[in-house]
Structures are given as structure tokens and as C-alpha cells.
Amino acid sequence: MIHMIQGIVVRESGVELEQFDESFLGEGDVVVDVAYSDLNYKDALAVTGRPGVVRTTPLIAGIDLVGTVAESDDPRWSVGDWIVLNGAGLSETRNGGYSTRARIDGKLAVALPDGLSPEAVASLGTAGYTAALSVMRIVMEGVNPGDGPVLVTGATGGVGSIATMLLAAAGFEVAASTGRLERFGDYLTSLGASQLVPRAELEGAGKPLQKAQYAAVVDSVGGEVLANAIARTLPNGTVTACGLAGSHKLPSSVMPFILRGVTLAGIDSVWAPLEDRADAWRLLAKGVDTTQLELMTSRIALDEVIAAGQQLLDGERHGRTLVTLS
């Protein structure tokens, strides 16, 4: 009997929910019955046909998956195990998680972390995992809560929301920036933000060195917002760059780096090593308020993903979006 699968497929001609058999899944040593995925900025770009994410077609979209192992040739995984994979080429060069069944390379997958349900892990997804990698890097660079506030740009987005929550839980003072303060100010305060920064204060061309205010920055916006954030970072502070929701450009100068000793740290969530992935999920299990996570998460079905992706790009969604597949 042929096992028919449903998935969102990106083709040169467009993006649609399709049915196909297992031969379409491609190569991999672990077959997963996917229970959950989520909607990230990169997913929104992919399912609305924007360039820059999907590098080969046809390809199943979805950069995250959470599910149970159906078949395994990898000794780390047994049938029935809950398994989590974020990035690792999904929806870029490998078929992704917007599919009721997936075939993956199991070496970068992690087990369901203690203390988090499958739904919570999928709700966090790449955004939460990237936020955790950013916070880990800030701490690794020696930034402490007493050193000053941490600026989080794009704070109503997935990365920004979870970063705000994690930083506040770790004792940091969080300055959360968004262009939608009137609508989402209370939401950001509920996540733990103690300062609210209008995005307009970080937009536009600014001086290469500005008043130093922030001990660290978690940036998912890029462009002039990132450049101005760097220019406002305190001596020996750390800026993590993990996204380009605003721009891929960086109109900055070397002055903050050579005169204030600022560190600009890139966060690669796609190919992070297994140890860092496991550490990030342990941090999320410890630092995320799952009740708050549930409140900030909306649920959609697989056939609603394409429309939800357009809503995200239009600024009509905030927090996290859980995709249920089973």
C-alpha cells in the first residue's frame, strides 16, 4: 500500500499544498511522522514564493519539525522516539517540515528536551532556538545582568519575543524595540521588558558612535537598526546578529569595534553543532514560561500556512504560530 503524504511544495511555478508518496521525500537515515511545525520569518518568505530561502525546486517547505521516528538507520534513534530538527538545510536544500512525513539526516536532530511538551518545542521552533543561541553567546562573551540593559530589536517577532522572555528570566533588564508599541506595548511588558523603545529611534542614518546605552543587543532586523544599535552599545558589549527582517545590509563603521571594543557576533542557527543545539534547548526548557508561551502562540493547520505566511510578512501576526500536522 502506497503511503500518501501531504505537504507544502515550493516549485518554480508557485507554492501549493500537494499529495505525494515517499519517493518524493529524498534521502535521509531517519523517517519521521511529523506532528508539529511552526511559522518563522524564513518560512513566510518561502511559502509566499519570495526568493532567498529555497535554493532548489521542487522542495517541501518548513525549517522546523517535531515528530516521532517511524524508521531509522541511525543508532541514536529508535522507532517511536520524539525527535526535533531545526534548520540543517530544511526548506533550503533539503525537504522540510511542512509535510505529514519527512526523511531527514538524524545527526543534527535532538531529543525532546525534558520539561517541554512537543507542542511547546514546536511553538518555540527556530525562532526560540535562535533566541537561545543569541542569549548563550551574550553570556559567553561575559555580559552580566549588572552591566546594563540589553536591547532586543524586532521584539514582537518570534526571535525577539523569546529573547525578551529568556533575558528577563536570567535577570537582565530588557529594552524591547518595535514599530508597533501602541498595539503591543503591554504584550512586551508581559514578556519581561522593562523599557520600550520605538523602532523609529533606531531607524535612519546615525552617527557611527552614539550615546552608549546597551550592554548587549539581540538583533533580528539588520540594516540601519542594527547599525544604530551597534553605535549605542557600551564598551566591551556584545551585539548578536541573527536575522534580516529589515535589511541584509549593515551601514556601519569600524569605530564602535576599535574605540569601544564592541563584539559583533553572528548567530548561525541553521548549522549550529549538536552540542550547541542541545544547550539551547536546555536553556529554553529552563527559561521559558510555558503558560506565557501558550498565550502568545496561535495554532493553524497545514492548509492555513500559506495565508498565515503572508499575514506575517504584512505585520498582522506576532508571537508564535504552531502548525499542527497530525
CATH number of the domain residue 298 falls in:
3.90.180.10
From residue 288, give the alpha-carbon distance in Å to each of 41, 86, 191, 298.
Answer: 21, 18, 10, 17
Query: Which structural domain, as residue segments, surrounds residue 320?
Result: 5-116+294-324
Query: Do 12 and 137 share a domain, yes or no?
Result: no
* Among the listed residues 261, 257, 233, the one whose alpha carbon sits nearest the alpha carbon of residue 175: 233
Residue 225's alpha-carbon distances to 54, 252, 309, in angstroms, are 26, 10, 23
Q: What is the pLDDT of residues 35-53, one digit of tens each?
A: 999 999 999 999 999 998 9
State whether 251 and 307 are in the same domain: no
- Tell me how many helices (H) and strands (E) the chain has: 9, 16
Query: Does residue 320 lie within any of the structural domains?
Result: yes
In this structure, the answer to whether residues 241 and 259 fall within a common structural domain is: yes
Q: State whether 84 and 173 are in the same domain.
A: no
**pTM score:** 0.93
What's the pLDDT score for residue 63?
A: 97
pLDDT at 180: 86
pLDDT of 322 over the 60 cut: yes
- pLDDT at position 277, please? 95
31 vs 174: CA distance, rounded Å = 41
Is 285 within the bounds of a domain?
A: no
Task: Please indicate, yes or no, if residue 71 is contained in any of the structural domains.
Answer: yes
- The H-assigned helical ranges of 206-303 are 223-231, 255-259, 274-287, 290-295
Burial of 250 (0-12, 13-18, 19+ CB in 10 A): middle
Same domain, 83 and 130: no
What pLDDT band is residue 1 in, cutting at 50, 70 and 90?
low
Q: How many domains does the chain have?
A: 2
H/E stretch holding 184 = helix 181-191
d(CA 96, CA 87): 9
Q: Residue 284 domain-assigned?
A: no
**pLDDT for 2:** 64
Same domain? For 150 and 27 the reply is no
Question: What's the rounded Cα separation, in Å, for the pair 299 and 320?
Answer: 9
Q: Could you tell me if residue 121 is inside a domain?
A: no
- Residue 182's pLDDT is 86
- Is the same domain home to 76 and 9? yes
